[in-house]
Amino acid sequence: MYKTVLPLVVAVSFSLSTLADEASVKKIVEGKLGGSVSSVSRTPYFGLYELYVDGQIVYTDEKVSALVVGSLIDGKTMKNVTAERMQKLSAIKFSELPLALAVKQVRGDGKRVFATFEDPNCGYCKRLAKDLAKLDNVTIYTFLYPILSPDSLEKSNQIWCAPDRVRAWNEWMIEGKAPSGRSDCDTTAVRKTIETGRKLAINGTPTIFFADGERVPGAMPLAKIEQKLSQNAGR
């Protein structure tokens, strides 16, 4: 009987100790950084702990003697462990996005769906817009996310107030025709989008979200977008 019970007791003790260590590491890091730690787990590398803090991964030891930010590469497989973990930790539930706040474009059958958060003064966003114009059979939800300048907010409000938001957005982003209409309509959607972006820890534009919840920061090449949409077909 002792042979069967003892391993169980040891396992439980180890589990409780690990949880206690994770809790203490989380508390110390939150105190040092002043941010909220969304998750903490022990890695199989050098006894390091992985913490997800305000949209980025931080590594530390149990004493929090140092904080390390950067990519952790597995020495055997040469896989970027940090990148793989970021893909999982930064994912969202697509169904929880407030899609009514976005500029909605539907092309063809509209079956392939994704969303972007973009600033109208973002050069990479303009490059992305030109690529997205080549896509068919898609529904694109573009959230106006003015974080670069006061003029970004003005342009976002003008686009939202336009009689045809899709046209106003594409004319500016693709053709360079600046919006010139009013900006004093009900722009609650733009304000709420900024709040949503902050909650999702979106720190740069463009940021893309696919139907499976994967987040991609930056202007993703069109071929990669097509590949991802094909993988998500039917969701």
**CATH value at residue 7:** 3.10.450.70
- Both 36 and 139 in one domain: the answer is no
- Both 131 and 68 in one domain: the answer is no
| Residue where one domain finishes, among candidates 32, 56, 89 | 89
Q: Which residue type is seen at 92?
A: I
**CATH value at residue 114:** 3.40.30.10
- Both 168 and 103 in one domain: the answer is yes
- Both 80 and 129 in one domain: the answer is no
- Both 30 and 133 in one domain: the answer is no
- Both 168 and 132 in one domain: the answer is yes
Tell me the Ramachandran region of residue 211: left when phi exceeds 0, alpha when psi lies from -120 to 50, beta otherwise.
alpha
Residue 157 burial (C-beta neighbours within 10 Å; 0-12, 13-18, 19+): buried
The span from the CA of 43 to the CA of 90, in Å, is 18
Residue ranges of alpha helices (H) inside the chain are: 2-33, 81-89, 123-132, 150-161, 165-170, 188-199, 222-231
Cβ-proximal residues to 33 (8 Å cutoff; 6+ apart), any chain: 53, 54, 58, 67
Lookup: tokens for 34: 């002043």
Q: Which residue type is seen at 228?
A: K
Strand partners, 144: 118
The span from the CA of 117 to the CA of 35, in Å, is 23
- Structurally, how many domains does the chain consist of? 2
- Both 17 and 80 in one domain: the answer is yes
Give mean pLDDT in consecutive 10-residue pieces for the chain, a chain of 235 residues: 39 45 89 86 92 89 90 94 88 95 97 97 97 96 97 97 97 95 94 96 95 93 94 70
| Residue where one domain finishes, among candidates 74, 89, 104 | 89
pLDDT score of 6: 39
**Residues spanned by the domain of 173:** 94-231
* Predicted TM-score of the model (pTM): 0.79
pLDDT score of 234: 55
- Both 64 and 101 in one domain: the answer is no
Q: Strand order in 103-107's β-sheet? A: 103-107, 138-144, 112-118, 207-210, 215-217
- Both 64 and 110 in one domain: the answer is no
- Both 112 and 204 in one domain: the answer is yes
- Both 134 and 99 in one domain: the answer is yes
pLDDT score of 89: 86
- Both 14 and 108 in one domain: the answer is no
pLDDT score of 14: 38
Nearest to 40 by CA among 55, 19, 66: 19
